[in-house]
């Protein structure tokens, strides 16, 4: 079949995920193979059959203490008022822990309970019972006893028990061989020398790591270009060499998505499209009795589908149950909208605020790898739901331990590079303490504190009437809470322009005069408030600004857009312009402060936060970024139900 002979393939169906998984599992009849490994090298492997002890442990009567071995009956007359004298060789022998106890001796007196009169004579003042402080033959295990069942993942303690039982080699299930085929003409091997249109191939490494973690033997193949003849040949080769084949990308319905056609030609397609979001464009089939799984190119879709379909196959082959994540109940911090008919998998951050677990949804875009990196857990919205309301109790499958979540600090509000530094310095002092940041904008940060959805908010909101930052907004919007505003940074705001400022941007009116594309921040962001203020002062309407309605959520995102798009300008902080190699046209300094509840400020997390902010090490690292000045020994401003009450310095 030639390339042009392929017709664009629509999804065969939106099959329920569990139905698709079970069809594939039931069709796979690969015979489980056994291999023998030296016991010392078998950590993490799965036992292929029950393992029985070849030796008893201990295999002799052994002393459990340092002391003397005696016949118990010779000690029966001993008493404090009637000390008993024993002679070496006649009545006892000296033993150390682990020494064999020869017959007819049948008890050990620990060294602390004897009084040594000379080299050959001891005195005791109490009797002992037979077999006291002796480890009898088989106390740990007896020859012929089952040490481990089949289907058991070998742990360090298991290896010790096996060796103690005389097992020098162990039968383990041979790891299933998993071939991983990254496909796509746009893919390049990992490098820093990339060009527009190049996509770094990193999914294959993630797949291989998952396969190894789950107990398989991964074989990551070179990139296969979008050539159906090459893909067909490669697929045939890997089906012969492996037990399971993963094809990454080409699983959708595009003009160069060949996988489903070739799989249908060489074998059988069970499923093309599952009722999930993300992860819909999955292909499940078999060639010559070997499962072939076509995964989407988008990372989040692919990683979830790996867990749904590849992990069950590996566990099934190894004869072990699939691992289950722990769960916890949390209150949903924001509304989640869903569509009927498909399971929705939402990545979330989780933290404990005011004694209640809060789950905050992360971006749902299937291509955002960092949503998986940053996620504390996963929220599954069932297919019969139109979504979940803010404040609703939900169940979260945890990626993190609950102990780590309990000490995490949820951050909401305006993005700043120093928040990551702050988290790093806090973690240096307390390894379980970190800041989980959601960059939502200053206004959203204030509201998150008010609603009990975050511990900490970064804000930089200019009151255009007073020229003061932040206080009036806290008084107006943080109602119903006793909160603390902690002065944190003075930072330089200005225009982001390409190197050399080729368009000659110096003031806001230049954006209109020179038809410049502006890269804006989201509604509620402090930078957006400042920009709108500049427009009003200049008598310019938002409609006159090209790009005004396109929103970015971080200063770095704005800077990256300016760097890549000709004749564009952004507004933001100096450190972001510096990080992206842009020129920076200074406008003004602004106050970037931290808002939190009084309860958090006085907690262990709040005390550590204040200590780090005031530390010379943190101040020095922030200064190196440029464009910042950390407030020296900041004095917290207390608000009682959004009314300023006191300003108090802190020890």
Torsion of CA 594, 597, 601, 606, to 10 degrees: -70
3-class DSSP state for residue 341?
A: coil
Percent of the chain with pLDDT over 70: 95
CA distances from 13 to 20, 268, 269, 307 (A): 11, 15, 12, 21
pLDDT tens, position by position, 533-585: 999 999 999 999 999 998 998 899 999 999 988 899 999 999 899 999 999 99
* Lowest mean pLDDT segment, chosen from 84-93, 126-135, 245-254, 619-628: 245-254
CA-to-CA distance for 584 and 577, rounded, in angstroms? 6
- Answer with the residue of higher pLDDT: 632 or 305: 305
Q: What is the pLDDT of residue 650?
A: 45
Question: What band does 163 get if pLDDT is binned at 50, 70 and 90?
Answer: very high
Q: Give pTM, 2 decimals.
A: 0.85
Long-range pairs of 501-510 with CB within 8 A, sequence gap ≥ 24: 501/583, 501/585, 503/567, 503/569, 505/569, 505/585, 506/585, 507/538, 508/534, 508/535, 508/537, 508/538, 508/540, 509/538, 509/540
CA-to-CA distance for 613 and 621, rounded, in angstroms? 11
CA-to-CA distance for 361 and 415, rounded, in angstroms? 17
Q: What is the pLDDT of residue 13?
A: 74
β-pair partners for 284: 271, 293
- 567: burial class by Cβ within 10 Å (0-12, 13-18, 19+)? middle
Domains of the chain in sequence order:
3-31+176-318 (3.40.980.10), 34-57+140-173 (3.90.105.10), 62-135 (2.170.190.11), 327-407 (2.40.340.10), 439-647 (3.40.190)
Question: What band does 514 get if pLDDT is binned at 50, 70 and 90?
Answer: confident
CB 92 within 8 A of CB 68: yes
Going by the DSSP 8-state scheme, the letter that residue 515 receives in this structure is: T
pLDDT tens, position by position, 35-49: 999 999 999 999 999
Q: At 129, give phi and psi (nearest 5°).
A: -100, 160
Model confidence at 646: pLDDT above 80: no
Going by the DSSP 8-state scheme, the letter that residue 15 receives in this structure is: B
Question: What band does 253 get if pLDDT is binned at 50, 70 and 90?
Answer: low
* Lowest mean pLDDT segment, chosen from 49-58, 247-256, 287-296, 514-523: 247-256
pLDDT tens, position by position, 174-225: 999 999 999 998 999 999 998 888 999 999 999 999 999 999 999 999 999 9
What mean pLDDT is reported for the chain?
Answer: 91
Residues 6 or more apart whose CB falls under 8 angstroms from that of 401 comprise none
pLDDT tens, position by position, 282-327: 999 999 999 999 999 999 999 999 999 999 999 999 999 999 999 9
DSSP count for the chain of H helices, then E strands: 19, 39
Nearest Cα residue to 410 out of 437, 383, 391:
437
Cis bond upstream, residue 208 (ω within 30): no
Nearest Cα residue to 130 out of 101, 156, 150:
101
CA-to-CA distance for 328 and 345, rounded, in angstroms? 16
CA-to-CA distance for 183 and 380, rounded, in angstroms? 30
Residue with tokens 């020890």: 651
3-class DSSP state for residue 324?
A: coil
Which DSSP string corresponds to 186-222?
TEE-S-S---TT-EE--HHHHHHHHHHHHT-EEEEPP
């Amino acid at each position: 079949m030639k390339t042009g002979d392929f017709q664009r393939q629509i999804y065969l169906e939106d099959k329920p995920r569990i139905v698709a998984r079970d069809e594939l599992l039931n069709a796979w009849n690969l015979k489980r193979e056994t291999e023998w490994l030296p016991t010392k090298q078998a950590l993490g492997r799965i036992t292929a059959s029950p393992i029985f002890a070849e030796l008893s442990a201990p295999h002799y009567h052994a002393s459990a203490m340092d002391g003397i071995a005696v016949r118990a009956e010779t000690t029966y007359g001993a008493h404090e008022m009637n000390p008993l004298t024993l002679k070496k060789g006649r009545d006892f022998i000296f033993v150390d822990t682990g020494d064999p106890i020869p017959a007819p001796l049948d008890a050990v007196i620990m060294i602390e309970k004897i009084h040594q009169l000379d080299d050959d004579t001891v005195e005791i003042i109490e009797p002992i019972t037979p077999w006291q402080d002796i480890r009898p033959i088989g106390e740990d295990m007896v020859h012929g006893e089952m040490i481990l069942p089949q289907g058991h993942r070998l742990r360090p303690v298991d290896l010790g028990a096996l060796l103690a039982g005389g097992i020098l080699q162990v039968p383990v299930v041979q790891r299933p061989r998993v071939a991983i085929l990254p496909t796509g003409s746009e893919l390049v091997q990992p490098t820093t020398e990339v060009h527009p249109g190049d996509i770094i191939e990193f999914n294959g490494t993630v797949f291989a790591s998952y396969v190894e973690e789950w107990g398989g033997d991964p074989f990551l193949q070179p990139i296969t270009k979008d050539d159906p003849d090459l893909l067909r040949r490669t697929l045939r080769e890997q089906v012969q060499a492996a037990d399971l084949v993963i094809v990454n990308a080409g699983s959708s319905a595009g003009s160069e998505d060949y996988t489903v056609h070739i799989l249908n030609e060489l074998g059988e397609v069970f499923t093309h499209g599952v009722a999930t979001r993300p992860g819909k464009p999955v292909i499940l089939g078999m060639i010559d009795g070997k499962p072939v799984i076509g995964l989407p190119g988008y990372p989040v879709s692919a990683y979830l589908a790996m867990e749904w379909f590849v992990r069950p196959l590996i566990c099934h082959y190894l004869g072990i149950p699939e691992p289950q994540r722990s769960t916890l109940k949390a209150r949903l911090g924001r509304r989640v909208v869903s569509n009927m008919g498909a399971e929705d998998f939402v990545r979330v951050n989780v933290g404990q605020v005011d004694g209640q677990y809060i789950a905050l949804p992360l971006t749902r875009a299937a291509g955002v790898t960092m949503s998986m990196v940053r996620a504390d857990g996963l929220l599954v919205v069932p297919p019969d739901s139109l979504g979940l309301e803010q404040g609703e109790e939900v169940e979260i499958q945890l990626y993190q331990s609950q102990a780590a979540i309990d000490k995490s600090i949820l951050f909401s509000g305006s993005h700043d590079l120093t928040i990551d530094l702050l988290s790093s310095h806090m973690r240096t002092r307390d390894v379980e303490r970190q800041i989980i940041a959601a960059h939502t904008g200053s206004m959203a940060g204030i509201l998150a504190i008010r609603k009990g959805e975050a511990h900490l908010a970064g804000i930089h909101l200019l009151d255009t009437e007073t020229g003061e930052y932040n206080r009036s907004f806290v008084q107006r919007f943080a109602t119903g809470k006793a909160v603390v505003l902690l002065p944190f940074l003075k930072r330089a705001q200005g225009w982001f322009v390409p190197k050399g400022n080729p368009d000659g941007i110096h003031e806001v009116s230049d954006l209109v005069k020179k038809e410049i594309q502006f890269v804006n921040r989201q509604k509620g962001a402090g930078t957006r408030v400042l920009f709108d203020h500049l427009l009003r002062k200049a008598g310019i309407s938002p409609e006159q600004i090209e790009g005004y309605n396109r929103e970015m959520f971080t200063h770095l995102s704005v800077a990256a857009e300016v760097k890549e798009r000709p004749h564009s300008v952004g507004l933001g902080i100096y450190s972001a312009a510096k990080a992206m190699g842009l020129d920076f046209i200074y406008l003004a300094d602004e106050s970037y402060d931290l808002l939190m509840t009084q309860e958090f400020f006085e907690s262990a997390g709040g005390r550590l936060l204040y200590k780090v902010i005031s530390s010379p090490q943190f101040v020095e690292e922030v200064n190196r970024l440029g464009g910042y000045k950390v407030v020296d020994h900041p004095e917290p401003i207390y608000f009682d139900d959004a009314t300023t009450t006191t300003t108090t310095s802190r020890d």
